[in-house]
Amino acid sequence: MNDRPIGVFDSGLGGLTVLKEIMKILPNENIVYFGDTARVPYGARSKETIIKYTFQAINFLMSKNVKAIVIACNTATARSLKEANEKYDIPIIGVIEAGARTAAYSTKNKIVGVIGTEGTIRSKAYNVEIGKIDKEIKIIDKACPLFVPIVEEGWSNTEIASLTAQKYLGELIEQGIDSLVLGCTHYPLLKRTVGEIVGENIKLVNPAKETAKDLKKILENKELIRLDDSIKPSYEYYVSDIPEKFASIGEEFLKKEIQDIKNVEIQKY
């Protein structure tokens, strides 16, 4: 039973930063990753469509006999996590709650910054989750549409990234945030650049890391941790379309070699 893999799902390759944190904190677990690269980005799609895509991803992962699923995509979490938990019995968690909770507990002056894609920022998903914990927290949010292509070009530590971060974050710093949620799965790659701009007094919250910690706790509580470490864990990668860059960019995200990426016809699930 405990040998069953963990399923990780994202609309593309951003979720690999979440996978990286899971591998780090749960180094003994088998994992199946699915990236819906044929239909990325989800941002502009309707709630109904995103629910359909999420259910297809979950059905596929369940066909691999997973014991728990992480929706490692902000858009899919915001639009479909609740519906997924109503429909399926296994534990399914998203990336928003853990990040929001960490920000809510780490802020001292109750001014929190949230950055993400235009879709995530427009959805106000982090604002809602943080508000559930503490209504008095003021949230300064900002869409940063250049950050994803900067990361995907491999330019995270260039002057372009630094100037862009200055432009996006100047306003948030001026308004006195003491915590900043990196609300997009691509952004952990910009941690160094963003950290240099905001300085040491602003705490960076990486929802990928917090989500991995939550997952570990859930597996422990449900006694689903893989205990037998005599056989090395296996990592499987599936995508709905193989973009040329998936392996090369993906390895940058994961800091690990990605072997044997398989194609899946996701619309059949």
Q: Rule CB under 8 A: which residues touch a copy of itself?
A: 38-41, 44, 145-146, 149-150, 152-153, 155, 158-160, 163-164, 167
Closer residue to a copy of itself, CB minimum distance, 60 or 147: 147
Closer residue to a copy of itself, CB minimum distance, 9 or 235: 9
| Closest distance of CB 52 from a copy of itself, Å | 15
Q: Is 184 a catalytic residue?
A: yes
| Closest distance of CB 106 from a copy of itself, Å | 29
Contact 6, 22 (CB under 8 A): yes
**Does 43 belong to an annotated binding site?**
yes
Closer residue to a copy of itself, CB minimum distance, 93 or 264: 264
Strands (E), the chain: 6-10, 31-35, 68-71, 92-93, 111-116, 138-143, 179-182, 203-205, 235-239, 261-263
Contact 126, 116 (CB under 8 A): yes
**Does 185 belong to an annotated binding site?**
yes
Catalytic residue among 26, 66, 73, 84: 73
| Cis geometry, peptide bond prior to residue 41 (ω within 30 degrees of 0) | yes
| Closest distance of CB 181 from a copy of itself, Å | 21
Closer residue to a copy of itself, CB minimum distance, 40 or 69: 40
**Does 10 belong to an annotated binding site?**
yes
Catalytic residue among 69, 114, 144, 184: 184
Smallest Cα–Cα separation from 179: which of 109, 121, 107, 130?
Answer: 107
**Does 211 belong to an annotated binding site?**
no
End-to-end CA distance of the chain: 24
Token pair 């519906």 is found at 83
Instruction: Extract the tokens encoding 199.
Output: 């300085």
Instruction: Extract the tokens encoding 17.
Output: 């930063």
| Closest distance of CB 46 from a copy of itself, Å | 9
| Strand order, beta sheet including 203-205 | 138-143, 111-116, 179-182, 203-205
Q: Is 144 a catalytic residue?
A: no
**Does 120 belong to an annotated binding site?**
no
The binding site comprises 10-11, 42-43, 74-75, 185-186
The catalytic residue positions are 73, 184
The binding site for substrate comprises 10-11, 42-43, 74-75, 185-186
